Structure 1
Amino acid sequence: MKSALYLCLLLLGLPVQGQYVFDLSVEQQEQKIPHSPEDHSPAEGENLAHVKIASSNADFGFRFYKQVREEVGSKNIFFSPLSISTAFAMLSLGARSNTLSQLHKGLAFNLTEMEEQEIHKGFQRVLQLLNDPHREVQLNMGNALFIDDRLKLLQKFLDDVTNFYYSEAISSNFQNSLEAIKEINNYTETKTHGKIIGLLNSLDPDTVMVLVNYIFFKGYWEKPFNSFATRENDFLLDAKNSVKVKMMHQNKAFNIHRDKKLSCWVVEIPYKGNATALFVLPDEGTMKQVEDALLKETVSNWMQSLEKRKIYLDLPKFSISGSYDVKSLFEKMGVTEVFSNQADLSGVAEKTLLKVSKAIHKAMVDVSENGTEAAAVTVIEMVPMSAEIPPPPHIRFNRPFLMIILDKTTHSILFIGKIVNPAAKED
């Protein structure tokens, strides 16, 4: 009988003291993760491991999004593709044969374009860059393994997860499942500053290891919205139904793009520091068309096509969350063996056959007016108002839209979301 390995991907987003925040857990691990400055020139960029995996992570993120869309229908979507791919990439250190091949394929890693070692070096570098305490955007990510007292991990696996993924190993007694659940819940509650409480309510009786990945993001709008301009307004759920929302407003210059082919507006709203959010507003009736076109090439084209222009911008305040059964979603994406009795995770532990019994992912985001004015000067110059012909467009995010949060330092897509109903609080 295979012992169970539980993957737990924890994310939480919330406002802290009225600031705009994705609080996706954990205190900074400065003592554990070395922070090194970016010591490369742009010309070297394409050969860097973290740049190579960024491309794969984007491919994976949009494939996963489309699978989630099939599952949830017309509900809100919000998740971190980087969190999920990091957890499964770390697990792949102990995978062998077809189990490893399926994981690589599912995570969109092409071993003809990069070596297996480069994958892990790429994540190592991402962790270093995200956990840099000198960044204006606070963005931290880390991993933990809760390991049963009876399970003897192979030294190489332990060394690799520590070296590449800076994972901490925590000894647990899974024979006393109630105590193990309490320990893991206490850990996650502490790491999320009391915001994720009682995440686990049960564990498979055969569980011998639980893997936790967390990510924490705290960003300030470069151009905060004025709360005095926020008004209650209608958000159109569909042709017949609407809900009342708090609609924020700005009348400033933003980087925008009108994608005529896909019939959508793209508005970039940057954070102070090297992170930014893309808000994508499909024309009425074109959401599926835009979603179907979600590929790394599409986003790259949007980013390259952005032009600074004054606009009238309406954006709702919203707080949404999502909980996902990653095991079910991965199985539909062709990653099946790691969850079955055919799983080959022989590189994890001595004399113990392992399979993944469950993998969950929870994320939440809170968007509001607040932020801090950027001290740095914007790189792109504003277009003088007198040169604006025709007049500024009025872009109203008063119907379902997409949100993509990008970290420019690591070239990573941190979060992908679809806001169908900004007033919905449930998962």
Structure 2
Amino acid sequence: MMRAVVGLWVLSAVICVGRGHHHADHHLGHGNDKTVQDTVVVVGANVVSLVHEANREFSFRLYRQLAAHADSQGKNIFFSPVSVSAALAALSVGAQGDTHSQLFIGLGFNSSLLTQTDVDRAFQMFLQRPNNTSQEDASEGTAVFVDDRFKPKPEFLQTLKQSYFADGFSVDFTKARESADSINKYVEEKTNGKIDKLVESLAPSTVMYLLSYIYYKGKWATPFDPELTKQDDFNVDDNTKVPAVMMNMKDHFHVHQDGELKTTVLQLAFNSSYSMLLMLPDFMATLENAICPHRVTRWLKATRPRKYDVYIPKFSIKTSYNLNDVLSQMGMTDMFGGRANLRGISEEQSLLVSDVVHKATLDVDEAGAEASAATGVLIGLTGVLNPVPVPVLKFNRPFMVIITERTTEKILFLGKIINPTI
């Protein structure tokens, strides 16, 4: 018997599930399901804060795994942690036994404090917010494409719809090209055309595609003047320079010097509740190894307005990842093989996840930033002219970037720009 593929897509992250070979000895753990229900039930704000903190920790664990991966060497890194965690949390609704435990542990959810229902309710809150903001162009959500001959459990689809606001579609996955086109068209619309080909190809064994998407477009609180944008050098490493287009502004900026990490942090505000943090380290590895939610909180509190002459590259980058290896290294192994237990999706089929794919884009220019999968925010305050010499802050060598919501500190996007021209 063939195993069915569940396509899980994270908008900018895609999880694709498909039919694999059936293993007679495959292990389906039942053990954890009861314990999860019997554990302490945390309610209200505490649940939300536990899930929120886990999501923020997951962002940096996933970043470090991506940065260490052979495929990422010499490349920019950019992804949306919230898009990946939303897709995996939605998948965990249909996971059971060891597969469910691994997803919970991998996402950082403590199963003695949180049940699946708690996680679902927390995501319901997170996903409600961005779509209600009028001041910026932001949207985030999930969708599920189901083969018209495959019948998932009604309660699985109900939870996806209620807690993850999933749009549901019926497709014929035996028509691989048409199905891929339907999914790509949906994603393209949701990301304002930025991600136009999430699905390159579909396995004929695919029975379901679950995807999560995020799109953000922000205008700088203080835009850069295009007249001041000039070509300059960007130092990729000690031996490599590339010509880059640098934007420039002399103004009061929120800046913090992190002496311990030897990193300058610039917070650029969007004209909304979002900001973009740009981190310029003396040694990239020092910053990458130490960056964590607690430090980001400290930076957001510590940045003070001071006059600077700031130079930032204007760029447009696209990234594409298959996250199977990376998630397996984070302990989420069973869902990809014969031991997969996705019987919360369907009893009839032996399901496995064939791929988790993630694509993201980031465009930064004088007016603001646009990110799909997730996008960034910058903070700049206007000041009066001052004849005193102004310190120069030039992002002309590799730097990290975070797009975050300032009040909740939700991390929409995270990455490292080592070459703005690739």
Q: TM-score range by the shorter chain?
A: 0.7 to 0.9
Instruction: Judge conservation of contact 2:195–2:360 (CA < 8 Å) in 1.
Output: no
Q: Deviations over 1:274-330 (max 9, x none)?
A: 0001000012xx110111111112212212221121111111101111101111210
Aligned to 1:339: 336
Query: How far 1:183 sits from its partner (Å)?
Result: 2.4
**Could you say if the C-alpha distance between residues 383 and 322 of structure 1 is closer, same or farther in structure 2, counting changes exceeding 3 Å?**
same
Which amino acid in structure 1 is aligned with residue 417 of structure 2? I
Aligned to 2:288: 291
Query: How far 1:184 sits from its partner (Å)?
Result: 2.1
Output the CA distance in 2 between the equivalents of 1:281 and 1:193: 30
Query: How far 1:9 sits from its partner (Å)?
Result: 2.1
Aligned to 2:11: 10
Aligned to 2:104: 104
Q: Map of 1:33-112 to 2, 5 A cutoff?
A: 47=45, 49-71=47-69, 72-112=72-112
**Could you say if the C-alpha distance between residues 405 and 194 of structure 1 is closer, same or farther in structure 2, counting changes exceeding 3 Å?**
closer
**Could you say if the C-alpha distance between residues 112 and 303 of structure 1 is closer, same or farther in structure 2, counting changes exceeding 3 Å?**
farther
**Could you say if the C-alpha distance between residues 194 and 258 of structure 1 is closer, same or farther in structure 2, counting changes exceeding 3 Å?**
closer
Aligned to 2:153: 154
Aligned to 2:21: none
Instruction: Judge conservation of contact 2:141–2:214 (CA < 8 Å) in 1.
Output: yes
Query: How far 1:342 sits from its partner (Å)?
Result: 0.7
Aligned to 1:143: 142
Instruction: Judge conservation of contact 2:217–2:368 (CA < 8 Å) in 1.
Output: no
Which amino acid in structure 2 is aligned with residue 302 of structure 1? W
Output the CA distance in 1 between the equivalents of 2:381 and 2:88: 42
Instruction: Judge conservation of contact 2:188–2:196 (CA < 8 Å) in 1.
Output: yes
Instruction: Judge conservation of contact 2:251–2:381 (CA < 8 Å) in 1.
Output: no
1:403 to 401, 404, 415: 401
Query: How far 1:2 sits from its partner (Å)?
Result: 1.9
The DSSP-based 3-state class of the residue aligned with 1:342 is coil
Which amino acid in structure 2 is aligned with residue 401 of structure 1? F
Q: Deviations over 1:126-185 (max 9, x none)?
A: 111111143x22211111111011211111111111110010111111122233223223
Which amino acid in structure 2 is aligned with residue 420 of structure 1? I
Deviates more, 1:185-194 or 1:232-241: 185-194
Q: TM-score, normalised by structure 2?
A: 0.85
Output the CA distance in 1 between the equivalents of 2:245 and 2:331: 41
Structure 2 runs not aligned, ≥5 long: 14-42, 370-378
Aligned to 1:280: 279
Instruction: Judge conservation of contact 1:309–1:392 (CA < 8 Å) in 2.
Output: no
Runs ≥4 residues deviating over 4 A: 379-386
Instruction: Judge conservation of contact 1:140–1:216 (CA < 8 Å) in 2.
Output: yes
Output the CA distance in 2 between the equivalents of 1:257 and 1:291: 17
Deviates more, 1:198-207 or 1:123-132: 198-207
CA RMSD after TM alignment: 2.4
Aligned to 1:420: 418
Percent identity (aligned) = 37
Aligned to 1:31: none
The DSSP-based 3-state class of the residue aligned with 1:272 is coil
Structure 1 runs not aligned, ≥5 long: 13-44, 373-378
Which amino acid in structure 2 is aligned with residue 8 of structure 1? W
Aligned to 2:325: 328
Q: TM-score, normalised by structure 1?
A: 0.84
**Could you say if the C-alpha distance between residues 298 and 350 of structure 1 is closer, same or farther in structure 2, counting changes exceeding 3 Å?**
same
Query: How far 1:243 sits from its partner (Å)?
Result: 0.7
Aligned to 1:304: 301
Query: How far 1:381 sits from its partner (Å)?
Result: 8.9
The DSSP-based 3-state class of the residue aligned with 1:157 is helix
Q: Map of 1:341-356 to 2, 5 A cutoff?
A: 341-356=338-353
1:187 aligns with 2:186: yes
Which amino acid in structure 2 is aligned with residue 299 of structure 1? V
Output the CA distance in 2 between the equivalents of 1:192 and 1:289: 34
1:267 aligns with 2:266: yes
Instruction: Judge conservation of contact 1:11–1:363 (CA < 8 Å) in 2.
Output: yes
Instruction: Judge conservation of contact 2:95–2:342 (CA < 8 Å) in 1.
Output: yes
